[in-house]
Amino acid sequence: MQRRRSVTGVLPGQMEKAGSKNQNSRLCCLAFLSAFLWFFLLYFHFVFLRGDNSNANTSTTQFVDHHTTTLTPVIHESTSIHVNVPEVKPPPRKIGLPNSNPNPVEIKSYPPPPKSFPFSKALTSGDNKSDPCGGRYIYVHDLPSRFNEDMLKECKSLSLWTNMCKFTTNAGLGPPLENVEGVFSDTGWYATNQFAVDVIFSNRMKQYECLTNDSSVAAAIFVPFYAGFDIARYLWGYNISRRDAASLDLVDWLMKRPEWSIMNGQDHFLVAGRITWDFRRLSEEESDWGSKLLFLPAAKNMSMLVVESSPWNANDFGIPYPTYFHPAKDADVFNWQKRMRGLERKWLFSFAGAPRPGNVKSIRGQLIEQCRSSPVGKLLECDFGESKCHSPSSIMQMFQSSQFCLQPQGDSYTRRSAFDSMLAGCIPVFFHPGSAYTQYTWHLPKNYTKYSVFIPEDDIRKKNMSIEQILRQIPPEQEKLMREEVINLIPSLVYADPRSKLETLKDAFDVAVQAVINKVTHLRKDIINDNIDKNFIEENSWKYALLDEGKHEVGPHEWDPFFSKPKDGSGDSSDSSAAAAKNSWKNEQRKWK
């Protein structure tokens, strides 16, 4: 087809020329023409009858390429060729090359050449509309079992305070919860440990519909290292070399793999179901907390998904804590949502938690006081002996009977409780933007007023404002809209049962994986277009996370006072949130002993 068009495209000019000369030259021209036609017939024959089909495709591509570069084709012709070629054989590497012919149409039809980038094949696979997985493939590293499975075999050593063995059962969901009090549903409920996301996520990945063994088409590369389980073993009473050993071993292993060199690890991601401060030890002092995983040069290139990320760092991202609900099918979720919509909620607000008497800045004491003294407030206190505060059914029952659920900081910014309460259709009340708004930007709407109430800590701490009064000012119809928004968020906040797959709904895992893919894809495009933001200031990471799509500029922000770092500038591991992380063991001990 294309060939013949080329012939007619050349001939008219030659015929005109010939017509202006005498008979001899006409004969000459006829002879020349027939020779020309013969040549083309033979060439056609040779090209198309040689070899198998795939060879023929290649030849067509080469042929077209040859013509667009050596002839000066009519525009109509070149566009028709260009429309055809990508269907014949994408990615058309030859055509992507800038050639000697600076045909403007050609430049317009083809974006800058992706050829010299090792990820261009993966990037173009996203343009293959007939491949439902195009641009969504995940390659999973086949790590030695010491980085994951072996830790489960040693589950007794996973926590000093808890026998984690029962929590690693059922693909990481833990033992099933019986629906004795009718608070849960009959199936899909488990006594899930709040630090179990390492295992749940890895198992959930096995159900991902676009896994590939071909890393050259991967949109992102998953590293199934149980980073949270690893450090949990050594947080208490082990020297820093023990705490860092597996992390160093891992990056050493990864950097020797051919996949590393595709993007120096910038397409790699891993998951730790713990807070980021457990992996941000800045110094080599034994008394300092945690491992230095997230400060290793290799880990700075990767993305780590954690249940609490650092506002000032760019290599970690917040994902939801696990709740007790792990639906196996869409209907489980729909039924639950329907029930949460219909509940009668007798408490205006409630709080489940313990005071922090050792922390003078904590507002928990005041919140507890307000819950106690208000007739419409409900408190589930956690501190005294056998407390109902750690019984999943008591917690869920209270959240289900409350309109608003108070979610102040704990030892660190975030709490699992925020997700348990939203699962119950209770509107969360946050007191620090780091507790949710700057954390879970992949999973929660950027416009936080749609689903939550924000009361700055100082309004409580300094002004002793009344929660009851603030909440009563919210019009009932607005509260209804907020509750509906919270209930609609439920599917994307829960981790589905990793042993099955939701039919249409996207769970917290799906949302996280898609966000990682988007991040890597944007980065790849920025690399190709030489569009990397050179003014990026890592310390402002939380501001970038709040930006709308396509925006790059950050400036002063109303939340700056919440995220100002200590004067000595060493905020990463020695400021109050890291110190608080250090204290979190007390909480862990209380909770599961």
Spatial distance between the Cα atoms of 150 and 323, rounded to a whole number of angstroms: 25
Pick from 57, 187, 213, 570: which binds ligand NAG (CB under 6 A)? Answer: 213
Which DSSP symbol is given to 389?
A: G
Position closest to ligand NAG via CB: 131
Q: Does 265 bind ligand NAG (CB under 6 A)?
A: yes
Pick from 57, 163, 447, 570: which binds ligand NAG (CB under 6 A)? Answer: 447
User: What is the closest distance, in whole angstroms, from the C-beta atom of residue 50 to ligand NAG in the complex?
Assistant: 22
**By C-beta, is 62 or 239 nearer to ligand NAG?**
239
Q: Does 216 bind ligand NAG (CB under 6 A)?
A: no
Spatial distance between the Cα atoms of 323 and 189, rounded to a whole number of angstroms: 9
Picking from 162, 188, 193, the residue whose alpha carbon sits closest to that of residue 176 is 188
| DSSP-assigned letters across all residues of 81-93 | HHHHHHHHSSS-H
Q: Does 552 bind ligand NAG (CB under 6 A)?
A: no
Task: Extract the tokens encoding 301.
Answer: 């290139």
Q: Does 298 bind ligand NAG (CB under 6 A)?
A: yes
CB 420, CB 405: distance < 8 Å:
no
Give the rounded distance of the alpha carbon of 392 from its chain centre.
28
User: What is the closest distance, in whole angstroms, from the C-beta atom of residue 536 to ligand NAG in the complex?
Assistant: 13
**By C-beta, is 176 or 445 nearer to ligand NAG?**
445
Count of Cβ atoms closer than 10 Å to residue 101 Cβ: 13
Picking from 534, 531, 556, the residue whose alpha carbon sits closest to that of residue 543 is 556
Counting beta carbons within 10 angstroms of the beta carbon of residue 34, is it exposed (0 to 12), middle (13 to 18) or buried (19 or more)? exposed
| DSSP-assigned letters across all residues of 537-567 | -GGGHHHHHHSPTT-------TTGGGGPPPT
Spatial distance between the Cα atoms of 146 and 152, rounded to a whole number of angstroms: 10
Pick from 239, 488, 529, 531: which binds ligand NAG (CB under 6 A)? Answer: 239
**By C-beta, is 106 or 468 nearer to ligand NAG?**
468
Contact track, ligand NAG, 218-237, x by CB under 6 A: --------------------
Selected range binding ligand NAG among 147-155, 194-202, 442-450, 539-547, rule: CB under 6 A: 442-450
User: What is the closest distance, in whole angstroms, from the C-beta atom of residue 157 to ligand NAG in the complex?
Assistant: 12
Q: Does 288 bind ligand NAG (CB under 6 A)?
A: no
**By C-beta, is 119 or 509 nearer to ligand NAG?**
119
Contact track, ligand NAG, 389-428, x by CB under 6 A: ----------------------------------------
Q: Does 211 bind ligand NAG (CB under 6 A)?
A: yes
> Distances from the Cα of 488 to the Cαs of 154, 321, 340, 476, in angstroms?
39, 18, 10, 18
User: What is the closest distance, in whole angstroms, from the C-beta atom of residue 467 to ligand NAG in the complex?
Assistant: 9
> Distances from the Cα of 445 to the Cαs of 134, 323, 437, 442, 462, in angstroms?
27, 19, 8, 8, 29
Selected range binding ligand NAG among 72-80, 156-164, 270-278, 444-452, rule: CB under 6 A: 444-452
Picking from 473, 472, 490, 444, the residue whose alpha carbon sits closest to that of residue 349 is 472
Identify residues 52-111 at the interface with ligand NAG (CB under 6 A): 90
How many CA within 13 A on the CB side of residue 90?
20
**By C-beta, is 34 or 213 nearer to ligand NAG?**
213
User: What is the closest distance, in whole angstroms, from the C-beta atom of residue 534 to ligand NAG in the complex?
Assistant: 13
**By C-beta, is 190 or 289 nearer to ligand NAG?**
289
Cα first-last separation, the chain: 77
Q: Are strands 347-353 and 316-318 parallel, antiparallel or unpaired?
A: unpaired
Residues sharing a CB contact under 8 Å with residue 412, sequence separation 6 or more, in sequence order? 275, 277, 308, 577, 580, 581, 584
User: What is the closest distance, in whole angstroms, from the C-beta atom of residue 456 to ligand NAG in the complex?
Assistant: 16
Pick from 5, 388, 450, 501: which binds ligand NAG (CB under 6 A)? Answer: 450
**By C-beta, is 266 or 397 nearer to ligand NAG?**
266
Identify residues 107-136 at the interface with ligand NAG (CB under 6 A): 128, 130-131
Q: Does 464 bind ligand NAG (CB under 6 A)?
A: yes
**By C-beta, is 158 or 197 nearer to ligand NAG?**
158
Which DSSP symbol is given to 145?
A: G
Selected range binding ligand NAG among 1-9, 297-305, 319-327, 435-443, rule: CB under 6 A: 297-305
**By C-beta, is 46 or 238 nearer to ligand NAG?**
238
User: What is the closest distance, in whole angstroms, from the C-beta atom of residue 289 to ligand NAG in the complex?
Assistant: 16
Spatial distance between the Cα atoms of 264 and 254, rounded to a whole number of angstroms: 10
Which DSSP symbol is given to 176?
A: B
Q: Give the 3-state secondary structure of residue 46.
A: helix
CB 378, CB 476: distance < 8 Å:
no
Write out the H or E segment, with its range, that includes residue 487: helix 476-493
Selected range binding ligand NAG among 112-120, 209-217, 314-322, 323-331, rule: CB under 6 A: 209-217
Pick from 76, 238, 341, 570: which binds ligand NAG (CB under 6 A)? Answer: 238
**By C-beta, is 189 or 269 nearer to ligand NAG?**
269
Identify residues 23-42 at the interface with ligand NAG (CB under 6 A): none
Residues in a beta bridge with 220: 138
Token pair 């002092």 is at which residue?
A: 285
Picking from 490, 319, 485, the residue whose alpha carbon sits closest to that of residue 414 is 319
Pick from 99, 387, 466, 540: which binds ligand NAG (CB under 6 A)? Answer: 466
Site residues for ligand NAG per CB under 6 A:
90, 128, 130-131, 211-213, 238-239, 241-242, 264-265, 297-298, 301, 447, 449-450, 464, 466
